[in-house]
Amino acid sequence: MPFTIAIDGPAASGKGTIARALAERFGFHHLDTGLLYRATGVKGGDPIQAARTLAEADFGRKDLRTAAAGQAASRVAAIPEVRQALLDFQRGFALREPGAVLDGRDIGTVICPTADVKLFVIASDLVRARRRAAELGADVDAMLMQLRERDARDAGRADAPMIRADDAVLLDTSEMSIEDAIKAAVGAVEARLAG
């Protein structure tokens, strides 16, 4: 039986960095589910058709990590038919042996509600804006506004909103180094593997 780790949280909270580190540490597969939505959003045309026809090549686009792609992802993620089209892909990925780490907004609540470990990674709005602005070479104030808009859209959508699963470990990375955040996440996984 594969071991599944679900990591949720808002943009620039550190969930992707933690997810990649956990996958590498434990030899698990990793899926940044946001890439599915980013690829759908930047593909253009009818978003439902774009979601249904995503190919592996769509995940290699250079523009998937831009702020515009993030905004597009948030918009198409609010469309129930898009979410349904991508649901099976994500659930199938979670079953890969020996295990999988998936990060996104609704992994622990919708995609993998029975995941072995669930983490909900957060950081203050300003810390996240500074991180994303540094990553993209953008203005902090503009990034703060974009992140808040996106958070409101992601948490307020009717279908699969971004919320913390009841059994998810809350990890606030606002004051943590990358190393400390990863160490805390590894500890949560190791506790579950041992128990």
> Is 129 annotated to bind ligand?
no
> Is 9 annotated to bind ligand?
yes
Annotate 98-161 with DSSP letters as a single string.
SEEEEEESSIIIII-TT-SEEEEEE--HHHHHHHHHHHHT--HHHHHHHHHHHHHHHHH-SSS-
> Is 69 annotated to bind ligand?
no
> Is 13 annotated to bind ligand?
yes
> Is 14 annotated to bind ligand?
yes
Q: Alpha-carbon dihedral of residues 125, 5, 177, 126, nearest 10 degrees?
A: 0
> Is 17 annotated to bind ligand?
yes
> Is 40 annotated to bind ligand?
no
> Is 74 annotated to bind ligand?
no
Residues belonging to the binding site for ATP are: 9-17
Residues belonging to the binding site are: 9-17
